[in-house]
């Protein structure tokens, strides 16, 4: 394929060299003449392992050429990859100036191009940037219409500097966000045969994925560093600890605990976080990440209370209020906090939880329910149908299987407020609400 690559920085040069090594004909474009000249002499403008060899090979095979001429690059390629910088402004906001400039230039060239050009951004950009900045800028400067006369897609880059060539050829995944399936397939051809999942999705999801990745990586590093400081103060080798931690691929290095939903609770997580936070205070350590977790969890509980108040409905039913499905344990269940706040604010509540009903009659929790939360116990009903009968709002509080029918067996005007994404919500009614989806 003939490809033009805009921005000959880390992402652009590595992409140029790697795509040329896969047999594509690459035109690199940069406003910086020195970078253009270096590339045309087969010299890498950046320090990166394996890159000089790839560039020498590409130059020898006449598969790479660099220019400052946008029009030439667009007219002589089918696809343009945008790899210009998206730095922070002083206030932290994303500076899209380079993206806008490059799109204005590409648009001018599309104006007089007959074939339908494809513009794929690889620069990291916030969700909405393609639809709110890239497409309008291209539409305006080309005088044409995206989706009809040319196409836009987003293809986040996951390479790391220092191992960039290896990462390009061994991506953790390939993600293409685009609204036109044939165009997605065409872009996928660039990466044919590379390892890892090939994911086709929307522009916004592809944009968001890159931020989720990088924010999570930052979270991992910060978490490990805070644990490291605690261990050091205690005279424990943090690497020994983390080497054991990472061997748990069931709960730690796993897909578990990654789906947005309600706050955490139960008899362990809140208690153990408090203990570690108290310990760090005693050790005179600052661990802002660990300290923030309970605060963030409380914000999640508060957001549910605020949302319920904003609905302006008084008759609320709660389906499932133990901290997760399959248990009767109510200790530190975040739903209990929601219930107690709503009682205090005069809401008319009915509660249903099969496991708590059993526990109320027998078992270890009988004493806890009857003595510690009798005000809650007295609001319990015996079946889900008792909630469906007369509640204006029903909260799905945990993942108990029988709650799936709340998506279909409730009345049109009953609001279903889901904390757990109980089932397939694609066809959910307009009265369905998810806590964070």
Ligand X SMILES: NC(=O)c1ccc[n+]([C@@H]2O[C@H](COP(=O)([O-])OP(=O)(O)OC[C@H]3O[C@@H](n4cnc5c(N)ncnc54)[C@H](O)[C@@H]3O)[C@@H](O)[C@H]2O)c1
Q: Which residues here bind ligand X, judged by CB under 6 A?
A: 6-12, 29-32, 35, 83-86, 98, 101-102, 123-124, 157, 159-161
Shortest Å, Cβ 401 to ligand X: 42
Determine whether 178 is an active site residue. no
Q: Closer to ligand X at the Cβ: 83 or 376?
A: 83
Q: Closer to ligand X at the Cβ: 29 or 406?
A: 29
Burial class (CB in 10 A: 0-12, 13-18, 19+), 255: exposed
Q: Closer to ligand X at the Cβ: 10 or 262?
A: 10
Say how many CA atoms lie within 13 Å of 91 toward its Cβ.
Answer: 2
What residue has token string 């165009």?
Answer: 183
Q: Closer to ligand X at the Cβ: 124 or 174?
A: 124
Q: Are 70 and 30 in contact (CB under 8 A)?
A: no
Q: Closer to ligand X at the Cβ: 38 or 395?
A: 38
Cα–Cα distance between 254 and 421 in angstroms, integer? 20
What dihedral do alpha carbons 108, 112, 115, 119 form, nearest 10°? Answer: 0
For residue 193, what are its two tokens?
A: 């045969």
Q: Are 262 and 435 in contact (CB under 8 A)?
A: yes
Q: Closer to ligand X at the Cβ: 105 or 139?
A: 105
Beta strands, E only, 339-392? 348-352
Shortest Å, Cβ 265 to ligand X: 37
Q: Closer to ligand X at the Cβ: 132 or 161?
A: 161
Burial class (CB in 10 A: 0-12, 13-18, 19+), 21: buried
Q: Closer to ligand X at the Cβ: 160 or 281?
A: 160
DSSP H helical ranges for 189-257: 203-234, 238-245
Strands 25-29 and 198-201: unpaired
Strands 415-418 and 393-396: parallel
Shortest Å, Cβ 98 to ligand X: 4
Cα–Cα distance between 41 and 55 in angstroms, integer? 9
Shortest Å, Cβ 32 to ligand X: 4
**Which residue in 165, 264, 156, 172 sits closest to 211, CA to CA?**
156
Q: At what angle do helices 238-245 and 203-234 cross, to 10 degrees?
A: 140
Shortest Å, Cβ 31 to ligand X: 5
Shortest Å, Cβ 100 to ligand X: 9
Shortest Å, Cβ 212 to ligand X: 14
Cβ neighbours of residue 128 under 8 Å, at least 6 residues apart? 204, 207
For residue 73, what are its two tokens?
A: 């690059």
Q: Are 398 and 261 in contact (CB under 8 A)?
A: no
Shortest Å, Cβ 125 to ligand X: 7
For residue 419, CA distances in Å to 145, 147, 150, 312, 376 come to 41, 37, 41, 19, 20
Catalytic residue among 83, 103, 178, 268: 268
Q: Closest-CB residue for ligand X?
A: 9
Q: Tell me if residue 45 falls in helix, strand or coil.
A: coil
Q: Are 2 and 60 in contact (CB under 8 A)?
A: no
Q: Closer to ligand X at the Cβ: 86 or 287?
A: 86
For residue 345, what are its two tokens?
A: 């604010």
Cα–Cα distance between 291 and 297 in angstroms, integer? 11
Cα–Cα distance between 434 and 115 in angstroms, integer? 44
Catalytic positions are: 268
């Amino acid at each position: 394929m003939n490809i033009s690559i805009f921005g000959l920085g880390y992402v652009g040069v590595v992409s140029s060299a790697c795509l040329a090594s896969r047999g594509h004909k690459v035109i690199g474009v940069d406003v910086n003449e020195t970078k253009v000249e270096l590339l045309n002499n087969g010299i890498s403008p950046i320090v990166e392992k394996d890159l000089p060899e790839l560039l020498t090979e590409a130059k020898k095979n006449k598969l790479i050429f660099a220019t400052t001429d946008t029009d030439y690059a667009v007219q002589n390629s089918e696809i343009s990859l945008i790899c210009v910088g998206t730095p922070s402004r002083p206030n932290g906001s994303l500076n899209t100036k380079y993206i806008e400039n490059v799109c204005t230039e590409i648009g001018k060239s599309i104006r007089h191009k007959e074939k339908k050009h494809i513009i794929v951004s690889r620069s990291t950009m916030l969700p909405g940037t393609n639809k709110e900045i890239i497409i309008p800028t291209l539409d305006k400067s080309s005088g044409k219409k995206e989706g009809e006369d040319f196409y836009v897609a987003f293809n986040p880059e996951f390479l790391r500097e220092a191992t960039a060539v290896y990462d390009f050829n061994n991506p953790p995944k390939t993600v293409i966000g685009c609204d036109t399936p044939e165009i997605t397939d065409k872009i996928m051809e660039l990466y044919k045969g590379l390892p890892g999942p090939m994911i086709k999705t929307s522009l916004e999801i592809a944009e968001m994925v890159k931020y989720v990745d990088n924010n999570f990586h930052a979270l991992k590093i910060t978490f490990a560093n805070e644990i490291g400081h605690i261990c050091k103060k205690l005279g424990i080798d943090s690497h020994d600890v983390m080497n054991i931690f990472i061997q748990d691929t069931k709960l730690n290095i796993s897909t578990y605990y990654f789906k947005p939903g309600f706050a955490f609770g139960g008899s362990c997580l809140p208690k153990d976080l408090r203990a570690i936070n108290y310990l760090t205070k005693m050790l005179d350590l600052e661990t802002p990440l660990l300290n923030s977790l309970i605060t963030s969890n409380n914000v999640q509980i508060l957001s549910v209370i605020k949302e319920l108040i904003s609905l302006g409905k008084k008759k609320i039913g709660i389906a499932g209020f133990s901290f997760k499905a399959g248990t009767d344990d109510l200790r530190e269940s975040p739903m209990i906090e929601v219930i107690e706040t709503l009682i205090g604010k005069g809401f008319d509540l009915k509660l249903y939880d099969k496991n708590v009903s059993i526990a109320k009659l027998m078992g270890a929790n009988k004493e806890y329910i009857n003595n510690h939360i009798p005000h809650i116990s007295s609001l319990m009903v015996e079946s889900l149908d008792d909630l469906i009968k007369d509640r204006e709002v029903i909260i799905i509080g945990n993942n108990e299987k029988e709650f799936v029918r709340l998506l279909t067996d409730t009345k049109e005007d009953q609001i279903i407020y889901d904390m757990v994404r109980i089932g397939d919500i694609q066809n959910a009614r307009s009265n369905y609400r998810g806590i964070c989806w």
